[in-house]
Structure 1
Amino acid sequence: MAERYSSFQSGSMSWFLQRVTAAFLVVVLAFHFFMLHFVHHAPEVTFAGTQARMSQIGYFLTMTLFLITAAFHGVNGVYAALINQGLTGSRKTAVKWVLVVAGVLLSAQGIYVALVMNGLM
């Protein structure tokens, strides 16, 4: 039988955060899907409706945390997958920093959009 290998060491901070963010994402994704597909049907989702939802502090915070958590979970997962494929040395360092910058830029752009939709900018 093939030996199982993972770049995540069981009990490490990366391992723990990947699981916590996954659990959070499952719950918030279900909420997001419910809100935008059952409560507000596709033809009812408008710019004004999005602004109205984003003006509610609870919804705004939830969607902002959803964005940040998804960005972290995705970047961390891609990094772990590349390490599992044998990425090492200076390439590993370069990829890590490219992913960090990409995650930060994605989060910053999303937060900016959320603030605009909330009317704070």
Structure 2
Amino acid sequence: MAERYSSFERGGRRWLWQRITAAFLVVVLAFHFFLLHFVNHADEVTFAASSLRMQDLTYYSLMVLFLVTATFHGVNGVYNALINQGLTGSRKRIVKYALVAASVVLIVQGVRTANAWAGFPTF
């Protein structure tokens, strides 16, 4: 009989959050494709129109939440794939902190970009 193997700890929450973020991303991606490929066609999407959309607080909040969710989902998936490949010890710790640092940089730059598009002050 095959043995069950998963890099997610039994009773851990990362497994659950991976599934929740996946479901959220599917819904937001469907919204994105509908809005930017069916309502507005590719040749109608401009920087000015994107800036106008980002000025709507609901849209802005959804895009920032999309950024944070996609970052977590991707980094968590990469980290667990590396653990599944046998990453342990100090290398595991180094990779974990490198991924956390990359996530922080990505989120900070993404929020700065969203703020610039929305006309908010950047930090």
Taking the TM superposition and a 5 Å limit, the aligned residue runs for 1:44-83 are: 44-83=44-83
Taking the TM superposition and a 5 Å limit, the aligned residue runs for 1:11-22 are: 11-22=11-22
SS of equivalent residue, structure 1 residue 79:
helix
Taking the TM superposition and a 5 Å limit, the aligned residue runs for 1:4-15 are: 4-15=4-15
Cα distance in 1, alignment partners of residues 10 and 118 from structure 2? 40
**Unaligned runs of at least 5 residues, structure 2:** none
**Equivalent pairs: percent with the same residue?**
64
Match for residue 98 of structure 1? 98
Deviations 1:78-102 (A, max 9, x none): 0000001100000000000000000
Q: CA RMSD in A?
A: 1.1
Deviations 1:50-87 (A, max 9, x none): 00100001100001100110001000000000001100
AA at the equivalent of 1:56: D
- Quote how far apart the aligned CAs of 1:33 are: 1.2
AA at the equivalent of 1:20: I
**Unaligned runs of at least 5 residues, structure 1:** none
Cα distance in 2, alignment partners of residues 11 and 60 from structure 1? 34
After TM superposition, the structure 1 stretch with the greater mean CA deviation from structure 2, 10-19 or 91-100, is 10-19
